[in-house]
Amino acid sequence: MKFGVGASQLKQLTPEDAVSLASKMGFDFFQWMPIVKGEKGWAKPGQYDYDLERITALGREAKRLNVPLLSMHLPYLPSHEVKDGFINDTVAAAKAAGARFIIVHPLAYGNYREFFRKFYEMCRAVNLELLLENPSAREKDIGVKIPTVSSPLQFLGLVKESGAAVCYDCNHAIRTGLDPVDFYAMVAKFTKVLHISDAGGESNARHAPIGDGGIDFTRLFNLIRASKFNGHIVIELENSQYQELQKHLDILKDEFSGKLALQNMMQTN
């Protein structure tokens, strides 16, 4: 099992500095957002003017630092607004970085099945894997008057129809009123990447530290082990201090090596 950190947790840094810090902290890989022309370089939703020269150089440096750019995580994807050439440009950027996965939030359902199927086929043609992440938003939350993937069955249906695999986010599940453990049980066999953070309970943070929200991580981690998951886990903490990221990395490494660090942490809180 490999452990990584995402660009959204280090977006105050430049891509180069974020990768360097991830390496120093001992992460196994880096989950990056699209990089566009500009000082910081991180893209905002709907911004896909990729800086291929910078992406290529960053991919080489990340590999040298033993923290490869494993997955390219797109900001929320407004499928109904995607311009021609978007898929081609995105696939080219991921290949330039040496990535293995492209992760997409599939907010749109219904008529967009063909879009995700085309995206999947173009990824497969160049040995990339398309992962669909279970959404955190419903129609009222995003202001888009189109059907959204709002239930596990809808999401699983889109996964099967598109041919894509799954990036499962337990935080997104609980924020849409679903049981994160039951949801994972439905998609476990399709899951290649896990996003881990807490939500719900007394926490108002979108991506809270483990134990600060309402997710039963003891149940979830037991199920992850039982499912024989041996993929990639990304720690996603909102506005977190670097020490908190390091703490979570150490806890998860111990937890999945059999030391049950989570149980010990809960007992001391």
**Is 122 buried (19+), middle (13-18) or exposed (0-12) by CB count in 10 A?**
middle
pLDDT tier for residue 112 given thresholds of 50, 70 and 90: low
What's the domain range around 78? 2-268
Task: Pick 207 or 96 by higher pLDDT.
Answer: 96
pLDDT in tens, 38-69: 888 888 776 778 999 999 999 999 999 999 99
Q: In this predicted structure, what is the pLDDT of residue 207?
A: 84
The structure's pTM equals 0.90
Q: Sign (positive/negative) of CA torsion 32, 37, 42, 48?
A: negative
Name the DSSP class of 155. Answer: H
Q: In this predicted structure, what is the pLDDT of residue 148?
A: 57
pLDDT in tens, 70-107: 999 987 655 545 566 888 899 999 999 999 999 988 76
Whether residue 177 has pLDDT greater than 90: no
Q: What percent of the chain has pLDDT over 70?
A: 82
Q: In this predicted structure, what is the pLDDT of residue 258?
A: 74
Name the DSSP class of 49. Answer: -
Q: Which tokens belong to 252?
A: 């998860």
Q: Residue written as tokens 């990056």?
A: 32
Q: Which amino acid is at 28?
A: D
In this prediction, residues 215-222 reach a mean pLDDT of: 94
Query: Domain tally for the chain?
Result: 1
pLDDT tier for residue 110 given thresholds of 50, 70 and 90: very low
**C-alpha distances in Å from residue 40, one per residue of 12, 34, 226:** 8, 11, 41
Q: In this predicted structure, what is the pLDDT of residue 140?
A: 47
Numbers of helices and strands, H then E, in the chain: 11, 8
Whether residue 161 has pLDDT greater than 70: yes
Q: What are φ and ψ of residue 187, in 5° steps? A: -110, 5
Q: In this predicted structure, what is the pLDDT of residue 205?
A: 65
Name the DSSP class of 4. Answer: E
Q: Which amino acid is at 264?
A: N
Q: What are φ and ψ of residue 158, in 5° steps? A: -65, -40
In this prediction, residues 192-213 reach a mean pLDDT of: 84
pLDDT in tens, 120-131: 999 999 999 999
- For residue 239, the domain's CATH number is 3.20.20.150
Q: Which tokens belong to 185?
A: 């049980």
